[in-house]
Amino acid sequence: MAGGAFVDSGPAGKEYPGKLTLYVFFTCVVAATGGLIFGYDIGISGGVTSMDSFLQKFFPSVYEKEQRNKDSNQYCKFDSQLLTTFTSSLYLAALIASFFAATVTRVFGRKWSMFGGGITFLIGAALNGAAKNVLMLILGRILLGIGVGFANQSVPVYLSEMAPARLRGMLNIGFQLMITIGILCANLINYGTSKITGGWGWRVSLALAAVPAAIITVGSLFLPDTPNSLIDRGHDEAARKMLHRIRGTDDIDEEYNDLVAASMESKLVEHPWANILRPKYRAQLTMAILIPFFQQLTGINVIMFYAPVLFKTIGFGNDASLMSSVITGLVNVFATLVSIFTVDKFGRRKLFLQGGSQMLICQIIVGTLIAIKLGTSGEGSFGKTYAGFLVFFICLYVAGFAWSWGPLGWLVPSEIFPLEIRSAGQSINVSVNMLFTFIIAQAFLTMLCHMKFGLFYFFGGWVFIMTTFIAFFLPETKNVPIEEMILVWRNHWFWGRFISDKDIHIGKNVEMGKGKPKAEA
C-alpha cells in the first residue's frame, strides 16, 4: 500500500524550548481533578442501583421482580427501563451541556467552564443525597450531567494546551487517571455504604459526589488560563507572560509566534460549527465522531456501570459482587498508569493496537466462559474457581481498555483540532461520547436479557473493527506541537488528499517536508 498504511505518518515538526515546570505540573494536576466528578458518577450508579433499600424506595417493581426471579433466568432479572433511565439521564444532560460549554470555553476561557461544571455538579449532588422521589433523583442527575458536560469539554483541552508537546500525552492522561480514581472511590464507598442497615446507605453514596465537585470548583479558581486561550481572547501580553512562566525559559518567541499565527487564523473563521464541515477538516471531524463512538462500543461501561449487577447476574452474592467491582476498579487505576508512562514514548497507535487486541481476546473468553455455564437459558451458576477465572479475564479486559481507549479516547481528540475549531470539535467529541454512553447504559440490561453471553461477542466484534480502523486511519500524534498538527494529516496516506498546501499557514518556521517529527528522529 502506498505510503504504508501501517506506518506512522509523522510530519516535519519542531521542538520548542522549555522544560516541565513545577507550575505546569501542579496546574495540570488541579485541572485533571475535573475527571473525578465524571469518574465518581460512573462508579456510583451501578452500586446504588444494586442496593435493595434504594430499589425498594424508588423502583419497587424492579425490586419485586428481582426477588421473584431468584432462581430463574439470570440474564433478565434486572431489565427495567426506569432503572436504566436513572443511570443514563445524566449522559443526555451532559450531551446537551457540552454544546453550551463550547461557547463558554471559547469566549470566557477554559477555567470558567471548569468552575461552572463544578458548581452545577455540587448542586446536583445535594439534590440526589436528599432525594425523596424519582423526580428529585433524576433532576439531580441532570445537574450532575451538566457539570460533567462542562468539565469534559474544558479539562482535556486545557491539559493539552498547557503541556509541552513532548509530555502532552502524560499530562493529559492525568484526566483519565482522575476518572479511574473517581470510579474506584465510588466503588469503595458503595462497598461501605451497602453495609449500612438503616436503608440510607445510598444517600451517603450519592451525597458524597459533593467532595470531588468541591475539589474542582475551588481548584479551578486558582488555575491560570492557557496561553492559547489568552491570545485568542486578545490578551497577548498576559499570554506571553504565561508562556514564559509555564515553559520556564525566556526562549519562547517561536512558540508564542506560532500561537499568535494560529489565533489569527482562527479569527478568520466566523462560524466554527459550519467551518468544521469543510473538506480540510474531514480527518478531524471523522475522529471527533468515531473515536468517542468506538470508545463506548468497546463495551467498557457494561463493566463500569453494571459490574455489581453483572456479577450478581452471573450468580455472585451481594458482597462478592461489590467486592469484584472494587477489584476491577483497582485494575483500572493501575493500568492507566501504564499509559501515562508509555504514551509519549511508544506513541498512541501502539497502545491502541495492543490494548484493542487484548480486549478482543478477553471478550471472546469471557463470553465463552459464561456461555458454557449459563448457556442460552440463563439457568445455572458458577463454582468459585470458575468465577475467579471469569473475574480474571474481565480484569485483563479492563486493563487493556485502561491503557488504550480509555485515556486515548480523551487525549487524541483534544490534540488534533486546530484552534479555530477546537472548542466545536471537542463538543462533538464529548457529545458523541455521552450519546453512546447513554445508549449503552440504557440498552445494556435489555441487551443482556436478549443477547445473553453473545453480548460479549457483540462488543468484541466492534473492538475488531475499531482496531483495524486505527491501524489504517489514525496517524501518530506523539510529540507534535498542537498548533502544528495539520502537518500530520497532510502527510497521511489517506487524509492528505483533503488538505492542500494553501491550507497550511502555521508560523514561518515550519518545514513542510515529509518524514518523522524531529523529536522522533
One residue of 284, 325, 332, 477 binding ligand BGC per CB under 6 A: 332
42 contacts ligand BGC (rule: CB under 6 A): yes
Identified binder of ligand BGC from the candidate list 93, 148, 290, 304, rule CB under 6 A: 304
- In sequence order, the 6+-apart residues with CB closer than 8 A to the CB of 455 are 299, 302, 367, 447, 448
* Contact stretch for ligand BGC (CB under 6 A) within 203-211, 247-255, 293-301, 376-384: 293-301
Query: Cell for 196?
Result: 449500612
Residue 409 touching ligand BGC (CB under 6 A): yes
Window 191-210: contact mask with ligand BGC (x via CB under 6 A): --------------------
Applying CB under 6 A, which part among 94-102, 241-249, 319-327, 402-410 lies near ligand BGC?
Answer: 402-410
Interface residue with ligand BGC, options 180, 228, 328, 429 (CB under 6 A)? 180
CA 105 to chain centroid: 18
Instruction: Pick the closer one to ligand BGC by CB: 164 or 299.
Output: 299
CA distances from 340 to 10, 108, 333, 476 (A): 21, 30, 11, 16
Number of residues that bind ligand BGC (CB under 6 A): 15
Closest CA to 426 of 434, 414, 435, 416: 414
DSSP letters, 9-55, are -PBP----S----HHHHHHHHHHHTHHHHHHHHHHHHHHHTT-HHHH
Residues 363-392, interacting with ligand BGC (CB under 6 A): none
For 12, list phi and psi in degrees, rounded to 5.
-70, 140
The answer to whether residue 406 forms part of the interface with ligand BGC (CB under 6 A) is yes
Q: What is the 3-state secondary structure (H, E, C) of 220-245?
A: HHCCCCCHHHHHHCCCHHHHHHHHHH
Least distance to ligand BGC, CB of residue 169, Å: 14
User: For ligand BGC, which residue has the nearest CB?
Assistant: 304
**CA gap 280, 284 in Å, rounded:** 9
Least distance to ligand BGC, CB of residue 183, Å: 6
Q: 11 has which bridge partners?
A: 514
Q: Does 11 bind ligand BGC (CB under 6 A)?
A: no
Among 87, 154, 176, 423, binds ligand BGC (CB under 6 A): 176
Q: Note whether 228 binds ligand BGC by CB under 6 A.
A: no
Note whether 408 binds ligand BGC by CB under 6 A.
no
Between the CA of residue 431 and those of 98, 148, 301, 435, what are the distances in Å?
6, 11, 16, 6
Shortest distance (Å) from residue 294 CB to ligand BGC: 11
180 or 194, CB closer to ligand BGC?
180
Quote the CA–CA distance of 44 and 212 in Å, as a whole number. Answer: 13
Shortest Å, Cβ 98 to ligand BGC: 13
Q: Return the number of the residue (28 or 181) whose C-beta is nearest ligand BGC.
A: 181
Selected range binding ligand BGC among 174-182, 374-382, 466-474, 495-503, rule: CB under 6 A: 174-182
Q: Which range, of 108-116, 179-187, 201-209, 277-285, touches ligand BGC by CB under 6 A?
A: 179-187
Work out how close the CB of 375 gets to ligand BGC at its nearest, in angstroms, rounded to a whole number: 29
Compute the C-alpha angle 219/221/224, nearest 5°: 100
Nearest to 48 by CA among 61, 40, 117: 40
Q: Does 414 bind ligand BGC (CB under 6 A)?
A: no
Stretch that binds ligand BGC, among 163-171, 299-307, 417-425, 468-476 (CB under 6 A): 299-307
> In this complex, which beta carbon is closest to ligand BGC, that of residue 90 or of residue 246?
90
Q: Does 179 bind ligand BGC (CB under 6 A)?
A: yes
Spatial neighbors of 70 by CB under 8 A, at least 6 apart, are: none
Contact between 88 and ligand BGC per CB under 6 A:
no
Residue 164 is a binding residue for ligand BGC (CB under 6 A): no
CA–CA gap between residue 212 and residue 209 (Å, rounded): 6
Q: Residue 333, class by beta-carbon neighbours within 10 Å (0-12 exposed, 13-18 middle, 19+ buried)?
A: buried
Query: What are the backbone angles phi and psi of residue 296, rounded to the nearest 5°?
Result: -75, -30
300 binds ligand BGC (CB under 6 A): yes
Residue 301 near ligand BGC by CB under 6 A:
yes
Residue 514's beta-bridge partner residues?
11
| Nearest distance in Å: CB 401, ligand BGC | 7
Give least dist CB 308 to ligand BGC, A: 15
Q: Does 92 bind ligand BGC (CB under 6 A)?
A: no
53, 202 in Cβ contact below 8 A?
Answer: yes
Query: What does the block give as the cell for 392?
Result: 480474571
Euclidean distance between CA atoms 390 and 396, whole angstroms = 10
Terminal Cα-to-Cα distance of the chain (whole angstroms): 23
Residue 514 φ then ψ, to 5°: -95, 165
Q: Is residue 185 at the binding interface for ligand BGC, with CB under 6 A as the rule?
A: no
Task: Name the residue nearer to ligand BGC (CB basis): 96 or 126.
Answer: 96
- Cβ(10)–Cβ(480) under 8 Å? yes
Q: Which is nearer to ligand BGC, 16 or 38 (CB)?
A: 38
State which of positions 416-445 bind ligand BGC (CB under 6 A): 433, 437
List contacts with ligand BGC (CB under 6 A): 42, 176, 179-180, 183, 295, 300-301, 304, 332, 406, 409-410, 433, 437
